[in-house]
A and B are shown apart, each in its own frame.
Chain A
Amino acid sequence: MTKLSFFHQKRKDEAVRTGVEVDSDLVLERFVPGDGENDSALVWYIDVRCTTESAIEADAETVRSFFLDLAGPIGSGLRSAAEDLRAGLDADLWPIRRPIQSMPRGVHGEIVCSAMRRVTDGELSRVLQNLADVWAVTLTQLPEVVAPLD
């Protein structure tokens, strides 16, 4: 079984980090610095966590393709989570977790998102919706992580 995680998170200083890991190996990552004073405290995060019964190589392009191929169900999952937040959920604790429907056989996934204080459901809902809208572009533009030379 292989675990693949896409994460997208915003810091208090407005910086945003987006990346993909395979079994804890970081293979894709983009960090956009904020313009305020450096503050690494998280404001919110969104994870798309997947497991697949087949082995997936921790290779940047393989992993990118994996997530791009799942754009349909993941996009629907993100929009559904956005809608839940917009409508107001019964549960009132973070994080919220939503299974991703209509995944291929042998692949499972969930959307997990959480926010710190001062972030409203409406704000995070908009972030989820936007991520769904730009999913393919976001994945395509994520730089490969280059391992440092020993």
Chain B
Amino acid sequence: MPRRLFDTNFLIGHWRRFPEDTRERTPDAMREWARELIGLHGTKLICTPVLIEMFAGTTNAKELELHRAYLGEFDVIDGRKLPASVWDSALRLAQHVPSNSSIKRRHLGDCLIRSVADHFHCEVLTGDKAMRRLPR
């Protein structure tokens, strides 16, 4: 895979864009939906904090089943084993108060995802990629 991994916001944005007006959310449909994203961006990498955040956002058994199907298409780069250096890096990020006061608070997931990406020499696909292109 090219050296990039999806973060939680990216996947949430994609999950929400599922065309429910024409397709029913079933496990097979969500697997296919995930494969479309993977094909589009040329990577299937996520990390354990993304898995946790995605599952933590589910509110019922049906949704959990659909998330399992969807997330099962991705590869978890850290193999669910985060080394101590990743935790140390996440701690540093959490304690880094930017000089620019307009920057928002840091979140657990973001600190961990950035740290995992650094550890595995990856870049993070972040945000909602359905974002419209900016004109020149």
Binding site for B on A (CB under 8 A): 5, 7, 9, 11, 17, 19, 21, 24, 26, 29, 31, 37-42, 45, 47, 49, 86, 88-89, 92-95, 97, 112, 114-122
> What 0/1 pattern do residues 1 to 21 of B give for CB contact below 8 A with A?
111100000000000000000
**Could you tell me the distance between the alpha carbons of A112 and B4 in the complex, rounded to whole angstroms?**
14
Give the distance to chain B from A131, nearest Cβ to Cβ, in Å: 15
- The answer to whether B32 has its CB under 8 Å from any CB of chain A is no
- The answer to whether B42 has its CB under 8 Å from any CB of chain A is yes
Query: Which of chain B's residues have a CB closer than 8 A to the CB of A93?
Result: 130-133
Binding site for A on B (CB under 8 A): 1-4, 40-42, 96, 98, 114, 117-118, 121-127, 129-136
Q: Is the CB of A38 within 8 A of B3?
A: no
**Could you tell me the distance between the alpha carbons of A107 and B78 in the complex, rounded to whole angstroms?**
34
Q: Is the CB of A9 within 8 A of B4?
A: yes
Q: Is the CB of B2 within 8 A of A40?
A: no
Give the distance to chain B from A3, nearest Cβ to Cβ, in Å: 10
Q: Which 4 A-B pairs have the closest CB atoms?
A: A7-B2, A122-B136, A40-B117, A42-B123
Closest B residue to A119 by beta carbon equals B134
Give the distance to chain B from A59, nearest Cβ to Cβ, in Å: 19
**Could you tell me the distance between the alpha carbons of A38 and B42 in the complex, rounded to whole angstroms?**
24
Q: Is the CB of A40 within 8 A of B123?
A: yes
Q: Is the CB of B2 within 8 A of A19?
A: yes
